[in-house]
Amino acid sequence: MKNFKKERAEARKKAKELVSKMTLMEKASQLKYDASPVERLGVPTYNYWNEALHGVARAGVATMFPQAIGMAAAFDEEEMKKVGDIIATEGRAKYNEYSKHGDRDIYKGLTFWSPNVNIFRDPRWGRGHETYGEDPYLTSRLGVKFVEGLQGEGPVMKAAACAKHFAVHSGPEAIRHEFDAKATMKDMWETYLPAFEALVTEADVESVMGAYNRTNGEPCCGHHYLMEEVLRGKWKFDGHFVSDCWAIKDFHENHKITKNARESAALALKRGCDVNCGNTYLHLLGAVEDGLITEEDITKSAERALTARYLLGLFDGSEYDKIPYEKVECKEHVEEALNVARKGCVLLKNDGVLPLDKSKIRTIGVVGPNADSRAALIGNYHGTSSRYITVLEGIQDEAGEDVRVLYSQGCHLYKDRVENLAWEQDRISEAVITAEHSDVVVICVGLDETLEGEEGDTGNSDASGDKKDLHLPKVQEELIEKVAAVGKPTIVILMAGSAIDLNYAQENCNGILLAWYPGARGGKAVADLLFGNVSPSGKLPVTFYKDLEGMPEFTDYTMKGRTYRYIEKEPLYPFGYGLTYGDVEVIDGKLMNQVTADSDIEVEVTVENKGNRATEEVMQLYIKDLESPLAVRNHSLCGFKRVFLEPGEKKTLSFTVANRAMTVVDEAGERHIDSRNFKIFAGISQPDDRSRALTGKKPAEINVTLG
C-alpha cells in the first residue's frame, strides 16, 4: 500500500517556505474552502470542495458508477481500486482543461471529499446509501482500496481522498446540527472508528472531514479526544482536516458550546481543523485580536492545507498534467461502471422465473414509478451522464424485435395520483391491464434521492431525508399487491439505497432483484441480469429487517440489536445474502497453520459450482469468539473473495485472516485477544439460520485454537 510519508515531508517543506512569505491575512485566507489567490507569490485561487462519491460529481459530464452502497454490494476490493483510479483520471482530465481556461470554481479541484465511511447502523438514515454498509470490516477494506485508487502510486498524488464524517455520525438528519451522539468507548472502537483507522493508518488518506454533530459532548469539528488524542496522536495522521460545510457555525448557533463566531473559529483551529467549509474562518483575524489564537496556529494549518496542493503537483506540475480530456466518460470507463452495476445487484428471491427466456415470452409488462426514471439511476452526489439507460429502456433493448414490451407508470413515486385532476391511483388500472396482457411482469419500485438523502437536499421534508419506517410509499405497496393479484409471473425490481420492507413481495412475487441506484447505464445492467447474459452475484452490505420492532430509537447510538453482528431476531434478508444462477457450495475448509496470539490465520476453502450456469460468487469468512464475554453477540466478517466458476468447476481459495479478527474490545475501548478458541465459518453467506434457509447451503466450519 502506498504511503506518501516521504512525499508529504517534501511537500510540507515547500509549503512551509511559501507560507513564511505570507502575511497573516494571506495565511488566514488559505484556510477557507475557497482559498483566495496570493498573486504576488504565484498562488492561484483554489477551491477544496469537490465530490467523487461514485464518479466525479457536480461539475458536468463524468462516468457515473452505481451509488456507493451498490458498489459495496459487489464485495470486490480490486474493483473499488479501479473505480477510484478511474475517478482520479477523469478528475485530472477535467482539472487540466478547467484550469487552462481559468476556471477554478467549486467542484473543479482535485481534493475529493470521498469516501463516506460512516457505519450504516440504522436503516432509517437517509444518507446510508452514501456508505459501504453496516460492517466495519467490509467498510474498511473497500474504503482502503477506493482511497488507494484515487490517490495513486506516487510520487505525485493523483487526487486527494477524504475520510468522512469523523466520527460517530449516522443520523438523524433533521437534528444533526445540534445533536449529541452518545457512544460507549466499546461501540466507538468496535464499530464506529475502525474504518477511519484503516484509511488513516493503511491507506494514508490525505484528509479527514469532521461531522456536524457532537460526539459524547464535544463537536466533531473541534473534538479534543477524536482529533487530538486519536487522529493526530494515536494514528499519527499527517494530512489536513476539513470541517463539514458550515459545521463550525453550529458551535455557537446550535450546540451552544461557544458564545460567538470568533470563539468557534478559535476552538476548531486549536483542535486541528485546517480548512473551513463555510465562512466562520473569516473571523480568524478577530480571534487573533481577542487573544484566542496566535498567528502560529494559523501558520500551522496554512502549511497543512498548502502541503496538499504541493503533494498534488499543483505548483510544480506532474505527469498527470498530460491526461487528456478524452478520458472523461470514455468507452472503457463506461464499461467498467456497467461491470460494477452488474456485480452489485442482489438477487433476493428466485423461484425459477429468472433468467427470462426470450424464446418462451411474447409480451413483457414493465410497470412502476422507477421503471423509466433517471432519478432512480443516479443516487445523490452525482455527476452528469451523456446518456442514461432506464430499466424500461434496458429491457426494451434486450427484448429485441420479437418480444413486445408494454409499459405503465403504475403510480406516482409517492403522491396519490399522477394527474392532479384525476382520481386517486389514476395509473393503477393501466398497470393491472398491462399485467393481464403480459406473459411476465416486471414491477420497478423504490425510492430516489428526493426521498432518501441528506438534510436540505431532499424533497422528504418531513424526515429531512431520513425514512420514518421501512415501508415503500403506500401507493407503491398497493401497486405491488394489485399487479401480483393478476397472477402472472411477477418480478420486483427494487431501486433504493437502504433496507425496505419486502415481506409482501417475498411471500407473493416470483423474483426480487435489488438494483440499488445502479448508475447512468444501470438499466442495461439490470436487463443483462434479468435475461441471463450475466449471473447476479451481489451480496447485501446491510441487513434487511422484517420490521423495526425492538429496534432502539434512531437517536440511540448503542449497537445492541442493530446490524448482523448484534441482531437478536430473525431478519428478512441477512447481511451477506444474495443468490446467483449457479449453485456454488463450499465442499471443504481447513486451517493451514498453527495459530498463535501473534499470528494471522491461514485458511483454504474449496468451492464447487454444482449448477448448470457459470457464475461469480462471493466467498465469505466469519469468525466467532467462543469464550470471551466481550465478543460481539453473533459473529463478524473477517474475509471475502470473488470467484468465477463454470458449471461443474472446482477451485481452492486461500485466505489470510488478520490477527485483529481474533481481538475483542473492552469497555474502555482497548482491543486485545481474550480467548483461545474460535470458529471460522466459510460459505456463500453468513452462518445464521435465516441465510441457511434462504440459500439451502451450510457453511464449512473450521475450529481455531491458539497454540
Confidence of residue 459 (pLDDT cuts 50, 70, 90): low
What residues act catalytically? 244
pLDDT above 70 coverage of the chain, percent: 99
Contact at 8 Å (CB) between 663 and 673?
A: yes
Q: What is the CA radius of gyration of the chain?
A: 26
**Residue range 71-109, pLDDT digits in tens:** 999 999 999 999 999 999 999 999 999 999 999 999 999
pTM of the model: 0.98
Euclidean distance between CA atoms 691 and 576, whole angstroms: 9
Confidence of residue 462 (pLDDT cuts 50, 70, 90): low
Confidence of residue 456 (pLDDT cuts 50, 70, 90): confident
- Calculate the CA dihedral of residues 269, 274, 279, 284 and round it to 10 degrees: 40
Q: How many CB atoms lie within 10 A of CB 16?
A: 15
Locate cell 494514508: which residue?
Answer: 204
Angle, helix 391-399 to helix 522-530, in steps of 10 degrees: 50
- Residue 464's pLDDT is what? 80
- Residue 490's pLDDT is what? 98
Contact at 8 Å (CB) between 415 and 341?
A: no
Look over the chain and give the mean of its residue pLDDT values, rounded to a whole number. 97
Question: What is the dihedral sign for C-alpha 654, 659, 662, 665?
Answer: negative
Confidence of residue 115 (pLDDT cuts 50, 70, 90): very high
**Residue range 662-706, pLDDT digits in tens:** 999 999 999 999 999 999 999 999 999 999 999 999 999 999 999
Return phi, psi of residue 187, to 5°.
-65, -40
Q: Is 621 helix (H, G, I), strand (E, B) or coil?
A: strand
Contact at 8 Å (CB) between 88 and 158?
A: yes
Q: How many CB atoms lie within 10 A of CB 553?
A: 9
Residue 363 has which C-alpha cell? Answer: 409480451
Q: Is the pLDDT of residue 230 over 60?
A: yes
Q: Which amino acid is at 628?
A: S
Q: Is the pLDDT of residue 638 over 90?
A: yes
Confidence of residue 461 (pLDDT cuts 50, 70, 90): low
Confidence of residue 460 (pLDDT cuts 50, 70, 90): low
